[in-house]
Structure 1
Amino acid sequence: MKEKKERVYFENIQYHIIRILEASRVSVKICVAWITWDVYAPVLKKLAARGVEVKIIYNDDNKNMQSEILGEVDGVALFPISARNYGSLMHNKFCVVDDALLITGSFNWSRTAQSHFENIVILENHYELIKKFNHEFDDLLHYFESYKYKIKIICGSADDGSNHLCRSHAYHIGVLGGSSGIDESSTVSVWKICNSYKHAQKLSATDEIFINSTLLGVGDDYEHYETTYDIEVMREDYLSERRKVEKIRQYFERRHNIRIHAVGFVGIVNEGAYLKGYEYPESALQMIWTDMYYRKIIPSEIYEWDSDDIEDLIKEVNESSYS
């Protein structure tokens, strides 16, 4: 296994980034908010000309208008990202080179950043960390594709008693019920949840066996402590994790005929205090996976006190788990 190496720079950062890019052999994945294109484009053109695959994610705004100088270059793919929320940015600053080296830090690849107090950290052969950045990069590519279609789901609830249906945005959450018995029987349901008022409507429910272990892949993970976690293991580990997510998506589309935006389960959020007898149990719908397009929309936890509908959802899921 190659030795892990770390470096940090506070000055001449642009010089060090270009040197690293020039040494790349297979692939360069750049995910940086703003780029000085007339500085980096010549370097990236040379990389593409010698067969290095170059992908660039950046914030879609006027500061990156010069990106067009790479628009027709074979081997270079551009992905301008517009955030869903007004005023939000694609504000990452990282680059993965040959799946073996990571550049990250405060430094934007812009002309003005040269005059700021900035930093970059360079990590070599930190494969478990690089895998996480590869996931973020590919999740943003998925976001880029999803943004083109801008599918909007409307809540449509009349639960507030008014004459008008709720016009808030909504999303679909697959809920994995608790399993029991030798066949791990459980109920899986899909709910449409309102972003603003947390109205909740059950769209589908099925009784399943062995579904939690099948979807979540219990026992499929690599035994990292028994094998060397090198670049090849990292790549296979990464692909395994991507396949797991795709399996979850396909299950809900096939079995429930619904495209989901997150998957969660009902859990106790104050488990420590509850087990010690200090508090009554407080439950929430806790996400284990969220589609990148909805990651800044769907909270990681939706609490039973958020609305009467959520309280009913949690009660129903718990009752199905213990029935």
Structure 2
Amino acid sequence: MRLSPRILSSVGAIAITCFVSAAAYYYKSRTREVNEVMVFCKLQYNAYNYFDKLVSFIEAAKHTVHVCMPGIHNPAIQGRLVKLIKEKDIKIRIIIDKSGYNESTDFFVRELIEAGAEIKFKANEPIFTMQHKFCLVDDRILMTGTLNWGNDRSCDHWNYVYITSKHQLVDPVKKEFYQMWEVSTDVQSTIHEQSTQILYDSDVETIEILNPEEVMDISAADNPTLVETEPASELQVMEA
């Protein structure tokens, strides 16, 4: 069966139209502007659904995730960041408050570092000075607001998160992050210093503990003036 040139040209035109439409849709979906607000509230029925949606933006990262938070000890956030590093080889950098690394957060911080995350804090500043709460995904999407990701009970409080891809809003925050990163101290070096100090403190000479009588004997031998003399009897005092 032979097709006429008119039919062939029509089929070709339809095919080209479909291809162009698909390409335009794909490009539009990639460059689609994100501009959304999530409100978290302890009275909200779907608070945890919102939290999962928030984390989905992080899991969509292609190259980098930059976080600036007072601390990271939320198991859900921390676990997914570790997963991103191990499964997608995403470069993760985190700046926390000086108080963000302590005994209660040691496990979360060490696990992130062991997975490959870089974590810093400003060592020359007092604690509780970090008020930034934002995350940059691929330096293209900004998530910021009152929600503290470091708190594992974040959904029990009143919070909001603003998510945007507007470069007018993303660029200043991105600049702030890189400036802070340059002047902050690596937490890993602090952990190493603490481990070294513990080993140094534990490497002390063994001291032999003597009973009190032996101690008195040794002290008296070293210093004769410390030898205690017996008190004079009453007869000796009268004769004197």
So what's the TM-score if we normalise by structure 1? 0.41
User: What TM-score, normalized to structure 2?
Assistant: 0.54
C-alpha contact (below 8 Å) 1:83/1:89 kept by paired residues: no
* Residue in 2 that maps onto 1:29: 66
- Match of 1:10, SS state, is strand
User: Could you say what secondary structure the match of 1:72 adopts?
Assistant: helix
**Alignment match of 2:159 (pick from 111, 115, 118):** 118
- Aligned partner of 2:132 in structure 1 is 92
One-letter code aligned to 1:40? I
Q: Deviations over 1:111-157 (max 9, x none)?
A: 13221100000002x11321111111111112214999xxxxxxxxx
Deviation string 1:228-286 (CA, Å, 9 cap, x unpaired) is xxxxxxxxxxxxxxxxxxxxxxxxxxxxxxxxxxxxxxxxxxxxxxxxxxxxxxxxxxx
Give the conservation status (yes or no) of the 8 Å contact 2:144–2:161.
Answer: yes
Mapping of 1:259-278 within 5 angstroms? none
1:81/1:114 Cα in 2 relative to 1: closer, same or farther (>3 Å)? farther
Native 8 Å contact 1:83 1:90 kept in 2: no
Residue aligning to 1:69: 111
Contact in 2 for aligned 1:82/1:90 (Cα 8 Å) = no
Larger helix share, 1 or 2: 2
Counterpart for residue 162 of structure 1: none
The percentage of counterpart residues that share the same residue type is 21
Any gaps of 5 or more consecutive residues in structure 1? 149-323
The residue aligned with 2:91 is: 53
* Alpha-carbon offset, residue 24 of structure 1: 1.1
1:67 CA drift (Å): 1.2
Q: Deviations over 1:67-96 (max 9, x none)?
A: 11212113x111133452x45511210000
Q: Which residue of 1 aligns with 2:78?
A: 41
Give the drift of 1:107.
Answer: 0.4
Matching residue within 103, 111, 119 for 1:78: 119
In the alignment, structure 1 residue 7 sits paired with structure 2 residue 36: yes
Matches of 1:82 and 1:119 in 2, distance apart?
29
Deviations 1:45-75, CA, capped at 9 Å, x for gaps:
221121211111111223643311212113x
| Greater relative contact order (Cα < 8 A, sep 6+) | 2
- SS of 1:90's partner is coil
Unaligned runs of 5+ in 2: 1-27, 41-46, 190-240
Q: CA deviation at 1:16?
A: 2.5
Decide whether the 8 Å contact of 1:37 with 1:67 is kept in 2: no
Question: Which one has a bigger Cα radius of gyration?
Answer: 2
The structure whose residues are more often strand, as a share, is 1
Alignment of structure 1 residues 129-278 onto 2, 5 Å: 129-145=169-185
Q: Any conservation in 2 of the 1:82–1:89 contact (CA below 8 Å)?
A: no
Contact in 2 for aligned 1:59/1:80 (Cα 8 Å) = yes
Taking the aligned partners of 1:51 and 1:97, their CA distance within structure 2 comes to: 14
> Aligned with 1:47: secondary structure?
helix
